[in-house]
């Protein structure tokens, strides 16, 4: 168990999430799911819950036991939750999930069938949690582990400090920026994305609903199945774009870090609404493998996203949330108002760019205007 996570930091994070985001009340039942590295964070949530008069329960998942099951062919056992776990979920008011397992590189090396088997419970979990009225948070800080820091080539302590600062950022403080972006992205018009690095891409907006990830729960009736869990840290504003319009080039200057791997130096070219070239300085084989296996209309533009969290800068697994960073996607966008149900969901992120809508600036050199 690492000793670099201070009790003060753990307490501050717990206070911000349980009081400020999830509104934990006296006598409510809190369930905290954590792997070994996240236990110091989980302890802070236990302390804070007791201060509030709530009733905490820690659900511990051992990293070594997890991989032992996978390596001995018991992945289905991980993906099949026990009845007592379902019973605990039904009796939970607030759920805090610290991401795991702790080694993303090891997870991505597993065969696709195994990766699917270990999370087979996921859809059922969300349905049952929504039915039970659970409200919760997914804690991104749990992904800052030693093996993941090696994978992304970053200093673990610095990465953790950035995630903590971003997680403590008051959502109300970034809301005005998000509102300005929402007004701009919710219009119909031509979008032009430019940057001195060679980026010059034209997309189109179609007055579709704009969505925000600000780390705040929507009203209970508006949450839906997946809206019961917020992301900590937040935040970004995003919208699905016209799937038939895209011309030009976008060149990333931020990594694309996902559960599937690390992509760097991405350069996409679009012609007549289709992705015609996708080149990477790092991760080309990984992208090609995923893209070839993709189904449906996978070469169409899908979404446009702008980050709003000023505490982030090139932070692994949070690149798109950096203030002023612009992300462009291809493939699936059906989950946020689009029409494309392709199995492909890929994106590039660019910081310091300029975005105009019908010639009017929305982002100028990485600053929301």
Residue 223 within a domain? no
pLDDT digits (tens, 9 = 90+) for 304-362: 999 999 999 999 999 999 999 999 999 999 988 999 999 999 999 999 999 999 999 99
Q: How many domains does the chain have?
A: 2
H helices of 21-62, in order, are 39-51
- β-bridge pairing 246-251 and 229-232: unpaired
Q: Residue 1: its pLDDT value, please?
A: 40
pLDDT digits (tens, 9 = 90+) for 129-184: 999 999 999 999 999 999 999 999 999 999 999 999 999 999 989 999 999 999 99
Q: Residue 258: its pLDDT value, please?
A: 75
Q: Residue 219: its pLDDT value, please?
A: 86
Residue 122 within a domain? yes
Residue 226 within a domain? no
CA 101 to chain centre: 16
Q: Has residue 259 got a pLDDT over 80?
A: no
Under a CB-based contact definition with an 8 Å cutoff, are residues 78 and 121 in contact?
A: no
Which domain-ending residue is among 140, 168, 196? 168
- Whether residue 176 sits in one domain with residue 164: no
Q: CA-to-CA distance for 95 and 22, rounded, in angstroms? A: 9
Which domain-ending residue is among 150, 168, 186? 168
Under a CB-based contact definition with an 8 Å cutoff, are residues 58 and 34 in contact?
A: yes
- Whether residue 205 sits in one domain with residue 178: yes
- Whether residue 325 sits in one domain with residue 249: yes
From 11-15, 28-32, 232-236, the region with the lowest mean pLDDT: 232-236
Q: Residue 2: its pLDDT value, please?
A: 45
Element (H, E) at 172: helix 171-185
Q: CA-to-CA distance for 337 and 200, rounded, in angstroms? A: 25
Residue 218 within a domain? no
| Average pLDDT taken over every residue of the chain | 95
Which domain-ending residue is among 137, 152, 168? 168
- Whether residue 91 sits in one domain with residue 41: yes
Residue 205 within a domain? yes
Q: CA-to-CA distance for 294 and 328, rounded, in angstroms? A: 18
- Whether residue 197 sits in one domain with residue 164: no
Containing domain of residue 245, as a range? Answer: 172-212+235-368
pLDDT digits (tens, 9 = 90+) for 267-285: 999 999 999 999 999 999 9
pLDDT digits (tens, 9 = 90+) for 16-62: 999 999 999 999 999 999 999 999 999 999 999 999 999 999 999 99
- Whether residue 145 sits in one domain with residue 34: yes
- Whether residue 111 sits in one domain with residue 200: no
Percent of the chain clearing pLDDT 70 (strictly above): 99
Residue 220 within a domain? no
The CATH number of the domain where 105 resides is what?
3.40.1830.10
- Whether residue 205 sits in one domain with residue 159: no
- Whether residue 161 sits in one domain with residue 190: no
Q: Residue 260: its pLDDT value, please?
A: 58
- Whether residue 146 sits in one domain with residue 260: no
Q: CA-to-CA distance for 299 and 270, rounded, in angstroms? A: 9
Residue 160 within a domain? yes
- Whether residue 239 sits in one domain with residue 137: no
- Whether residue 79 sits in one domain with residue 200: no
Q: Residue 3: its pLDDT value, please?
A: 46
Q: Residue 98: its pLDDT value, please?
A: 98
Residue 106 within a domain? yes
Coil, strand or helix: which one is 357?
Answer: strand
């Amino acid at each position: 168990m690492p000793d670099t996570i201070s009790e003060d930091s753990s307490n501050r994070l717990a206070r911000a999430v349980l009081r400020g985001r999830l509104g934990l009340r006296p006598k409510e039942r809190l369930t905290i799911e954590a792997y070994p590295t996240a236990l110091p964070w989980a302890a802070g949530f236990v302390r804070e819950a007791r201060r509030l008069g709530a009733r905490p329960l820690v659900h511990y998942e051992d990293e070594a036991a997890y991989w032992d099951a996978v390596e001995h062919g018991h992945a289905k056992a991980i993906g099949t939750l026990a009845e007592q776990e379902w019973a605990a979920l039904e009796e939970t008011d607030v759920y805090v999930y610290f991401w795991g397992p702790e080694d993303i590189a090891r997870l991505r090396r597993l065969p696709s069938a195994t990766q699917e088997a270990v999370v087979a419970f996921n859809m059922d979990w969300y349905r049952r949690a929504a039915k039970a009225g659970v409200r919760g948070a997914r804690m991104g800080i749990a992904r800052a582990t030693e093996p993941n820091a090696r994978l992304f080539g970053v200093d673990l302590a610095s990465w953790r400090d950035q995630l903590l600062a971003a997680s403590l950022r008051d959502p109300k403080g970034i809301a005005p920026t998000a509102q300005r972006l929402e007004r701009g992205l919710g219009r119909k018009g031509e979008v032009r994305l430019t940057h001195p690095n060679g980026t010059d891409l034209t997309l189109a907006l179609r007055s579709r609903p704009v969505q925000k990830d600000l780390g705040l729960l929507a009203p209970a009736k508006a949450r839906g199945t997946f809206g019961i869990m917020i992301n900590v840290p937040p935040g970004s504003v995003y919208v699905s774009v016209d799937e038939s319009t895209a011309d030009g080039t976008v060149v990333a200057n931020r990594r694309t870090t996902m559960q599937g791997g690390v992509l760097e130096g991405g350069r996409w070219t679009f012609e007549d609404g289709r992705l015609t070239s996708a080149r990477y300085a790092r991760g080309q084989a990984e992208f090609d493998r995923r893209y070839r296996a993709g189904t449906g209309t996978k070469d169409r533009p899908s979404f446009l996203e702008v980050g709003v969290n000023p505490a982030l800068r090139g932070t692994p697994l949070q690149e798109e949330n950096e203030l002023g960073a612009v992300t462009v996607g291809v493939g699936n966008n059906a989950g946020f108002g689009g029409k494309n149900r392709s199995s492909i969901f890929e994106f590039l992120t660019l910081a310091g760019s300029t975005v105009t809508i019908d010639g009017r600036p929305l982002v100028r050199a990485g600053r929301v205007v």
